C-alpha cells in the first residue's frame, strides 16, 4: 500500500477523534457522580503531564542522535501517557466540584477579599489555563497526523509536521503542570 493511501486510511478516523474527544470531555463536565472521592488524582495527572514533557524532549534528542527505535518507543509512551492523563482528568472532574483560583476557604465562591488576595496572579493563571485548554484540543489532530505519517513511512512529512506538533504538545504538557501548581493551594 502506498504511503498516501495509508495516510488517507486514517484521515477520517483522526478527524472524527479530533472532534469527538473534546466534545465528549465537554459533555462529561456536565455529569457529576456523587460519593466518589478521586481528589488524589490531580497531582498524579500533573505528574503524568511532566513525564509526557520529559518523554517528548528525550524523544527529540533520540531522533537527532539517530536512535529511531528509542524515538518511536518514547513517542508511543508519550501518546499513552496523554491518554492516561485524559482518563484521569475526566474521572476527577466528573466526581469533584470545580475549584476556583483564589478560593482560599474552599466554599466554591470567590469573595472580593479572596480575589484581591490573589491579585494579578489570577490573570496569569487564566491566560495559562485558557491557552492550555485550547492548545490541548488543537494538538489532538497534530499528534495523530504526525504519528500516522511515521507509521506510513512518510518520514519527510512526519518531520515537517513534527516541527509544528512538538512545541504545541510540549507547551500543553508543561502548562498542565504549571496550572496544577498554581491551582493546588485552592483544592478543598
What is the model's pLDDT at position 7?
A: 83
Q: How far apart are CA 8 and CA 2, in angstroms?
A: 10
Listed range (7-11, 101-105, 116-120, 150-154) with the worst mean pLDDT? 7-11
Residues 87 and 170 sit within 8 Å (Cβ to Cβ): no
What is the model's pLDDT at position 6?
A: 77
DSSP 8-state secondary structure symbol assigned to residue 37: -
Q: How far apart are CA 182 and CA 174, in angstroms?
A: 13
Query: Which residues, in sequence order, are CB contacts of 5 under 8 Å at separation 6+?
Result: none
Number of helices (H), then strands (E), belonging to the chain: the values are 6, 0
Listed range (1-10, 91-100, 114-123) with the worst mean pLDDT? 1-10
In the chain, domain spans: 3-10+17-186
Check whether 102 has a pLDDT greater than 80: yes
Check whether 2 has a pLDDT greater than 70: no
Which CATH code fits 3-10+17-186? 1.20.120
Grade residue 3 by pLDDT with cuts at 50, 70 and 90: low
Residues 74 and 53 sit within 8 Å (Cβ to Cβ): no
Residues 166 and 151 sit within 8 Å (Cβ to Cβ): no
Residues 12 and 134 sit within 8 Å (Cβ to Cβ): no
Q: State pTM to two decimals.
A: 0.93
Amino acid at each position: 500500500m502506498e504511503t498516501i493511501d495509508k495516510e488517507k486510511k486514517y484521515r477520517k478516523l483522526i478527524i472524527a477523534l479530533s472532534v469527538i474527544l473534546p466534545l465528549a470531555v465537554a459533555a462529561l463536565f456536565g455529569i457529576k457522580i456523587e460519593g466518589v472521592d478521586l481528589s488524589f488524582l490531580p497531582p498524579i495527572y500533573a505528574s503524568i503531564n511532566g513525564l509526557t514533557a520529559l518523554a517528548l524532549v528525550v524523544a527529540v534528542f533520540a531522533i537527532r542522535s539517530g536512535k529511531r527505535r528509542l524515538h518511536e518507543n518514547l513517542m508511543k509512551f508519550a501518546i499513552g501517557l496523554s491518554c492516561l492523563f485524559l482518563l484521569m482528568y475526566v474521572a476527577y472532574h466528573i466526581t469533584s466540584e470545580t475549584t476556583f483560583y483564589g478560593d482560599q476557604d474552599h466554599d466554591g465562591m470567590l469573595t472580593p477579599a479572596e480575589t484581591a488576595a490573589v491579585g494579578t496572579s489570577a490573570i496569569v493563571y487564566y491566560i495559562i489555563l485558557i491557552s492550555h485548554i485550547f492548545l490541548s484540543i488543537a494538538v489532538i489532530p497534530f499528534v495523530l497526523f504526525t504519528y500516522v505519517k511515521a507509521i506510513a513511512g512518510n518520514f519527510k512529512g512526519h518531520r515537517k509536521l513534527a516541527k509544528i506538533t512538538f512545541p504545541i504538545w510540549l507547551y500543553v504538557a508543561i502548562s498542565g503542570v504549571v496550572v496544577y501548581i498554581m491551582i493546588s493551594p485552592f483544592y478543598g
